[in-house]
Amino acid sequence: MGDNITVQSDRHRIDLTAKGLPEEPERFYPAAWPKELDLQAPKTGVRVTIPYRMRPAKMVMGNPLTVPSATTLDKLFEDAASMAPDRFLCASAPGRPWQYELVLRRRDRQVRLTFRSTAPDRSGISLRTCHLSSSARAGRLVARLACSTFDFTADESDDAKVPRLYRRGSRIVCELCWPTDTSGWPQRGAGTYRYPIAFPKDQAGNGLGFDVSGPFVAGKARHSLGEDRRNVDLIKAARAAFVDLMLRHLVPTHGPAALALLENVESPRPVDVKAMVEALVDAGALPIWSTAAQSGRHQRYETSTAGLPPQLPMPRYGGGMLHEGLAKLAPAKIALLHPESPASAVLAMRDIDEVEIFDEVAAARSVFVDEAPAAGEKQDGWLEKCERSLHLLELSRLSGKLEAKETSELKASGRLPTADGSAKPWSFMERAAVPPPKIPGVENPRLLHPRLAKSAILRDGAGTILRFKIDDYLARLDFNRAGAIARTTFFQWLRRNHSSLSPRSLGKIAEYPVWPDEQGVGRPLESFCWPKQQYLREALSTALPMPAQQVVSFPGLRRASNAALRLRSTPGFEELASWHKTAMDRVRAPTNAKAAAAEIDHAEKILDRMREDGIGPKNFAHGHLSVSLSGEIRPIVQLHADTAAVRSCHLAAEDLLPAARRVLHLALGANATPLPEALIKALRADPQRSRLAARLDGYKSTERPLSELSDEAIIEVDGKLLTPSSLAFEASTDMWGEWKRKIPIGELAPQEAKLLEESGVLKGVKEEYSRGFFEWLAGVQPAVLSRHRTQIVRHWLDRRAGPSRWSALQPSTPCVMAYSSENSPSLHSHREATATNRQIYLPDMRAIQSAVLADNPRMKLAVVDARGVDGSAIQELRDRGVKSLASKIGAPTGLSIVGQSRSDERLDAELRLLRSSDVRRFLKSMLPQFDVPSEALGRQFRRFPDGIAGVRAADGLEAVYTVNRRHYQAPATAGYLAERRTFYVAADSGLTMPFYEAVAKEIFDANSPPAYTYGLYRAVHEITAPGFAQSHFEDLDIKEEDLKQSQQDKTAPTEKEASGSAEKGHGLPADVNPFLPKPNKIEKLSGRTYTEPTRKKKSKAPASTDALRHSIEEDAQLNDLKFKHYAVHCQACIGAYDVLDAAPPQSYVHSPHYRKSIIHAHHVKLLANLAKVSKDDTDGFGARNVLILCRFHHAQLGDLLSREMVRASLRTAVRTIRNFPDGEGGTQARKGLLVRIEVAADPYEINLYFTKEHAQVWLED
């Protein structure tokens, strides 16, 4: 703090300094100046002044003395103020009154500590206090210790100094101190030693809760006790004095609270506590439990017997804690440590071997066995002890500390109080929550006292007391054998005494057959039902026994579902089923159909009221009979309720139920959707085309395949009923000829077309359809077969589903059409067409095949083309193994040159390409890129070009073929004369490709397709292109400059980002408010006004129908319909609801800005822009084919509507009004038309709103 200290007292002063060498004023040299007179010094007391160090001082050794900061000085001041009360509290002579002050100052701060010590009272107890006051706060008590003096006799060899304040003549007086509250009750503390200033507790703590002030000898270390013998003797004397103090004053006065002084709360030492406890046991200074009143602050506590440790009232489950409840159960002869004793003392007691535990089992033996009254006798307070002891035993059992054997022993020898308080053997007891009433002739049972009946340990386990049962108690009355008089007598007794019985007993009585019905027959109460509704009571009375009036008015009945005595008001399903069976028996009984129908009507009225009351008929009304619209009585499961799905199918009257009770009929099991049998009946009897789709959809909904109807004559075509299997949809390409009758598909809704296809109407080509077609052809006349040449070729060209796919798998199915020299057609199977012994060939030698066919009557040529069919099926037949006529004939046996031959530069150039080394090297690997398999290339192809002498152009060429020893001449475009090793090409043939055709025949395998020629040509020219050899094996997918440009494009800022302009965040758009529709007249489209350049680019791949949609005129009409006609509303939504109901205010659909994204223009007839009114028209339908629908209705109705359905419904439309919001909070009415349309699937019926102008254009022809 500083370099100088001034101590002033008694008008004198002494100065101490850290710099005592005048010749070296800055050197550290501690010194003290002699005492001198100072008139400024106080006359009494001491003043110590320390000026703060202003600059650091160097040390000879160690760290320099630094200048203390203000923070350090403040902290030092606060620490001194907080420690001083405890350190100086005992700084005066023990047992003498005293008062002194200590004042601490620092600049403008001051703390005044006032210490006082009182004279001892009659008990020898004095009080030391310290009050603290400061410049900021008035005086307050900060320390309080109670003190007691004791004498100390030093050893004769002890020559250490004894301070004067501890001396009383020849005596040495020391002091014990302990913390107390304002009432003087001991408090827990951290004991230390004082001299008389307190040693620091971390240096001189004594392990107990009280202080010892005495002439201790300090150690060499600062603020520590020395190892002098006096200290040991002094501590021993202090502890003996403390035991004496506890015996004569603290324990009798404060009881277990005095034991708090045994433990040091800051530095506990269990060894010291145990030593003190053993000393207290030996001295008989422990507080024990007494049955005397323990309340109040001035009672005297009993102490233990010297040398005899008290028992511990400690339950097994308590974790080592004492329990007052156990102490209350102990007999007076047992001394128990007071249960409020602190845990530290209890732990020390448990470590003493002689200490016994008084637990809950010992208490129970005392209560139930040793101290219990004799059998039949009573004792005051015993019931409360039993109650408390049973509770403690249950807690012990729950904790797993109580053994079943111990409980069994208690039950075997113990006694318990009965209801009147007298003792009875535990093992003979019974328990009941409410004692049963006294009944003449029946002995009362021995019941446990009601206060103990709920004790858990008596309800289960080894100590169980059996529960008293009313049915056992009343066992002398055998109600099953009792007569009517006995039952009536008991019932009358029950009416008078039911309030005395427990709910459990009443519940058992409810099961006895003593409750009379209307005929006086006794039955169980549960067998009766008395509904609140009069109609239900009347209905049940026809099939079930009903309770007598005295049962209905029984005073003990309750309405709660868990009541002991409850007359049911809700009938069970079995009871309702009994009534329903009786009602159905009455329906079957009459021979008159009218009377039976009346019985059904009466039963269904009751059933309908039950349904309205929440009683579901489907749970009990099984096998219900009802009346159809035709008057037939049939099981309701065979009939149909009046639902939209049923109405749309227009079933026969004998299969339908009246609409009035639709909800009831559905609940009884009537069909909500048509049954297959009813649909077939309706399809056969009523073949209206308009109802066909709904019926087919209904049949499909039964999860039965529509293909079951393929042979049913259900489709009307030109006034005749035809089966679906005999029909096919019209198509631009006729695939079926006379096998199927064609029906138009253009006017059908997509859903209807799909249903017809599933029922057997052919659409497109499938494998099974194709096979069926050829199987049909196998049985027709040759003339009919001839007429189907076109269809046969088309099927062969269909690689997906035609014979080219399935013929090899169905080798016996006729599918190859061939003709002979007589031009007679025939149909052959795949096995026949490919057999080696059959002469069926491909027509691939057109130059001579007619002549060859004429000379060979057994030979036939397969049909591979037809008029009106693009392409030939020759390759498909070849792939399926049909033999080639060209292969049969083979290569020409001769080649003659007509005219002159000469060289040609083009042919020579091609020959040079063919001879190049690159072609030899890469040809085999390049051919597959041009659809030529590398395996087709002969092994000699690399050597063959070297053997070619040349190639020449001839004026003409003729090839000679030999078949069956006959020679046939035919013009040729190119050929190879092996003897001359020269290729000849007809000059008028184009040269290049004929040359490659001739080369292909030489280097490719025999029977190779002609297409290989072009592949060879492409491969040669690709290989000989400049730079091919260098780049053939390089990866050219991504160029470096392209990658760099792509990276630049990704990182380049947009125009907005580069400009740094602020963008708009949130806010309402301009068209947020609704507006009124303003319909305009719609004109017919003038033509297809769409032009290619105006079409916007799409991010997705173009569809095949993109060119057929969205003409300029049509787009304008669609825009007018959305905004001017319907104000961005869905025709279906505002057809079903008024506008504000469909688009309520304060919702996002109320705003056209947000609604327009879900409003679609639906083309009822697909591809409407080119769906012509007639073949001669150039314009499309436009608005006459469009409905404005929301996204939901577009998805729901898109495939269910056809144009004819809408037009037909418009002709019967009714006028209606819709109120549109005007954008200013009001509405305006708009007249329009409401159209009702029946559709084939859910929802089966829809309503559309049309403006007058839109409806007019739809109805135009």
pLDDT digits (tens, 9 = 90+) for 623-632: 999 999 999 9
In terms of Cα–Cα distance, which of 504, 442, 508 is closest to 476?
442
Structure tokens at 371: 């101290």
User: Quick one: pLDDT at residue 895?
Assistant: 87
Alpha carbon separation from 1177 to 996, 1088, 1171, 1185 (Å, rounded): 51, 10, 10, 16
User: Quick one: pLDDT at residue 479?
Assistant: 67
DSSP assignment letter at 1200:
T
How many Cα atoms within 13 Å fall on the side-chain side of residue 48?
A: 7
pLDDT band at 1068 (very low <50, low <70, confident <90, very high): low
In terms of Cα–Cα distance, which of 797, 773, 795 is closest to 784?
773
Beta strand pairing call for 125-134 and 137-152: antiparallel
pLDDT in tens, 1176-1196: 444 467 888 999 999 999 999
Residue 1096 has pLDDT above 50, yes or no: no
Say if CB 1129 and CB 1143 are below 8 A apart: yes
**Mean local confidence (pLDDT), 1081-1093:** 64
User: Quick one: pLDDT at residue 393?
Assistant: 94
Mapped to the 3 state alphabet, what secondary structure does 844-903 carry?
A: CCCCCHHHHHHHCCCCEEECCCCCCCCCCCHHHHHHCCCEEHHHHHCCCCEEEEEEEEEC
CA dist., res. 526 & res. 509, Å (int)? 11
User: Quick one: pLDDT at residue 1066?
Assistant: 53
pLDDT band at 791 (very low <50, low <70, confident <90, very high): very high
User: Quick one: pLDDT at residue 35?
Assistant: 93
- Name which of 497-511, 684-698, 830-844, 1091-1105 the model is least confident about: 1091-1105
In the numeric block, the tokens 């159960």 are attached to 329
Say if CB 931 and CB 1015 are below 8 A apart: yes
Secondary structure element (H or E) that encloses residue 292, with its range: none
By three-state DSSP, how is residue 208 classified?
coil
Neighbours of 487 (CB within 10 A): 21
User: Quick one: pLDDT at residue 1049?
Assistant: 40
Q: To 10 degrees, what angle do helices 1011-1023 and 905-915 make? A: 80
Q: Which residues pair with 447 in a beta bridge?
A: 430
Beta strand pairing call for 1186-1190 and 1159-1163: antiparallel
By three-state DSSP, how is residue 91 classified?
coil
CA dist., res. 973 & res. 998, Å (int)? 9
Collect all residues with Cβ–Cβ distance below 8 Å to 460 and sequence separation of at least 6. none
CA dist., res. 1167 & res. 455, Å (int)? 87
pLDDT in tens, 491-541: 887 888 788 777 877 888 888 888 999 999 989 999 999 999 999 999 999
CA dist., res. 179 & res. 201, Å (int)? 15
**Mean local confidence (pLDDT), 914-938:** 89
CA dist., res. 717 & res. 669, Å (int)? 38
pLDDT in tens, 419-456: 888 999 999 898 877 666 554 334 567 889 989 988 99
pLDDT in tens, 305-346: 999 999 999 999 988 899 999 999 999 889 999 999 999 999
Predicted TM-score (pTM) above 0.75? no
CA dist., res. 368 & res. 360, Å (int)? 12
Angle at 234 between CA 230 and CA 235, to 5 degrees: 120
pLDDT in tens, 979-1012: 888 999 999 888 899 999 989 888 888 778 888 8
CA dist., res. 643 & res. 655, Å (int)? 13
Residue 297 has pLDDT above 70, yes or no: no
pLDDT in tens, 365-385: 999 999 999 998 999 999 999
Structure tokens at 843: 């027509």
Structure tokens at 1158: 């879900």
C-alpha 398, offset from chain centre? 39
Residue 1169 has pLDDT above 70, yes or no: no
pLDDT in tens, 727-764: 999 988 999 999 999 988 877 888 888 999 999 999 88
**1165-1181: buried (b, 16+ CB within 10 Å) or exposed (e) per residue?**
beebbebeeeeeeebbb
Collect all residues with Cβ–Cβ distance below 8 Å to 625 and sequence separation of at least 6. 584, 587, 588, 600, 633, 634, 635, 636
What's the burial of 1088, exposed, middle or buried (CB within 10 Å: 0-12/13-18/19+)? middle
Peptide bond into 1243 cis (omega under 30): yes
pLDDT in tens, 819-871: 998 889 999 999 999 998 899 999 988 888 888 888 888 999 999 999 989 88
CA dist., res. 994 & res. 1016, Å (int)? 12
CA dist., res. 628 & res. 118, Å (int)? 114
Residue 110 has pLDDT above 50, yes or no: yes
Say if CB 304 and CB 281 are below 8 A apart: yes
In terms of Cα–Cα distance, which of 1007, 1002, 971 is closest to 989?
971
User: Quick one: pLDDT at residue 1136?
Assistant: 93
**Mean local confidence (pLDDT), 242-256:** 95
Residue 1094 has pLDDT above 60, yes or no: no
pLDDT band at 1044 (very low <50, low <70, confident <90, very high): very low
What's the burial of 647, exposed, middle or buried (CB within 10 Å: 0-12/13-18/19+)? middle
CA dist., res. 398 & res. 457, Å (int)? 10
Residue 1168 has pLDDT above 70, yes or no: no
DSSP assignment letter at 684:
H
pLDDT in tens, 612-645: 999 999 999 999 999 999 999 999 999 999 999 9
What's the burial of 442, exposed, middle or buried (CB within 10 Å: 0-12/13-18/19+)? middle
Collect all residues with Cβ–Cβ distance below 8 Å to 1124 and sequence separation of at least 6. 1077, 1078, 1079, 1080
Residue 568 has pLDDT above 80, yes or no: yes
User: Quick one: pLDDT at residue 125?
Assistant: 96
Say if CB 657 and CB 670 are below 8 A apart: yes
User: Quick one: pLDDT at residue 561?
Assistant: 75
Residue 1089 has pLDDT above 70, yes or no: no
pLDDT band at 140 (very low <50, low <70, confident <90, very high): very high
User: Quick one: pLDDT at residue 1046?
Assistant: 36
**313-332: buried (b, 16+ CB within 10 Å) or exposed (e) per residue?**
bbbbbbeeebbebbbbbbee
CA dist., res. 813 & res. 564, Å (int)? 82
pLDDT band at 480 (very low <50, low <70, confident <90, very high): low
- Write the single-letter amino acid at 591: T
User: Quick one: pLDDT at residue 1252?
Assistant: 95
User: Quick one: pLDDT at residue 1224?
Assistant: 83
Residue 1090 has pLDDT above 50, yes or no: no
Beta strand pairing call for 825-829 and 814-819: antiparallel
- Name which of 262-276, 465-479, 517-531 the model is least confident about: 465-479
Structure tokens at 239: 């502890």
Residue 795 has pLDDT above 60, yes or no: yes
Residues recorded for the chain: 1261
By three-state DSSP, how is residue 1211 classified?
coil
User: Quick one: pLDDT at residue 435?
Assistant: 64
pLDDT band at 481 (very low <50, low <70, confident <90, very high): low
pLDDT in tens, 111-130: 999 999 999 999 999 999 99
**CA 920, 924, 929, 933 torsion: positive or negative?**
positive
